[in-house]
């Protein structure tokens, strides 16, 4: 399993780095990565994480479409900022999903770490949706989630994956800085 885990981690670092650089190849590479991780998480009984990978597969396709908009290049997404209320709604949705999924996993499965896994899943979905929409707030949310994932994966003895999430944490810092310097975001600040 370590070889497959290493491949998924390398694909993941590549996909997230391409995301920071706003290169649409991040989405198909990310799709392969999430499919591999879906299988790996099933094997170690991180069922919420496995379900998250399936949702990520759909979001990879959504993100690719959002960033490329095949019908009109000029309609492709640009980096933008969510208004405060939308951030709060997104975080509330992540919390509701976390509680519902955690309760289901704790009650109906033999999931390892059902509550932590579900919480990270709920907020990861919010961060991934914001990333697909090129919302700058995705990066600080990823920072918090990625740090927590490091601990979870160390506990599950998924060492390559824990290392992958250490790298993701560093890349999230870089993404936050780079997207804040994006001309589209700066132009939106001037117009506000």
* Segment 157-163 mean pLDDT: 89
- 35-77, pLDDT tens digit by residue? 999 999 999 888 888 998 999 999 999 888 887 775 655 556 7
Q: Dihedral sign for Cα 24, 26, 27, 32, please.
A: positive
The whole model's pTM is what?
0.84
The answer to the question of residue 78 being in a domain is no
**Residue 110 to residues 50, 97, 102, Cα–Cα distance (Å):** 14, 19, 12
- Confidence band (pLDDT; 50, 70, 90) for 149? very high
Whole-number pLDDT of residue 132: 87
> In total, how many domains does the chain have?
1
Residue 88 lies in a domain: yes
Query: Is residue 77 situated within a structural domain?
Result: no
Q: Is residue 36 part of a domain?
A: yes
Residue-range definition of the domain harbouring residue 134 = 2-72+83-191
Decide: 131 and 141 in contact? Cβ < 8 Å: no
């Amino acid at each position: 399993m370590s070889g497959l885990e290493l491949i998924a981690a390398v694909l993941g670092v590549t996909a997230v780095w391409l995301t920071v650089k706003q290169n649409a190849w991040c989405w198909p590479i990310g799709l392969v990565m999430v499919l591999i991780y879906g299988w790996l998480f099933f094997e170690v009984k991180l069922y919420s994480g496995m379900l998250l990978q399936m949702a990520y597969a759909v979001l990879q396709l959504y993100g690719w479409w959002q960033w490329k908009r095949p019908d009109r290049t000029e309609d492709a997404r640009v980096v933008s900022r969510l208004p405060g209320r939308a951030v709060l709604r997104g975080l509330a949705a992540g919390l509701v999903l976390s509680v519902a999924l955690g309760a289901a996993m704790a009650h109906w499965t033999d999931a390892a770490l059902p509550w932590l896994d579900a919480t990270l899943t709920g907020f990861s979905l919010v961060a991934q949706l914001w990333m697909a929409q090129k919302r700058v707030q995705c990066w600080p949310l990823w920072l918090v989630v990625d740090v927590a994932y490091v601990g979870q994966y160390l506990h599950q003895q998924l060492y390559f994956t824990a290392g992958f999430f250490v790298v993701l944490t560093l890349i999230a810092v870089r993404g936050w800085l780079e997207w804040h310097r994006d001309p589209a975001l700066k132009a939106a600040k001037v117009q506000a």
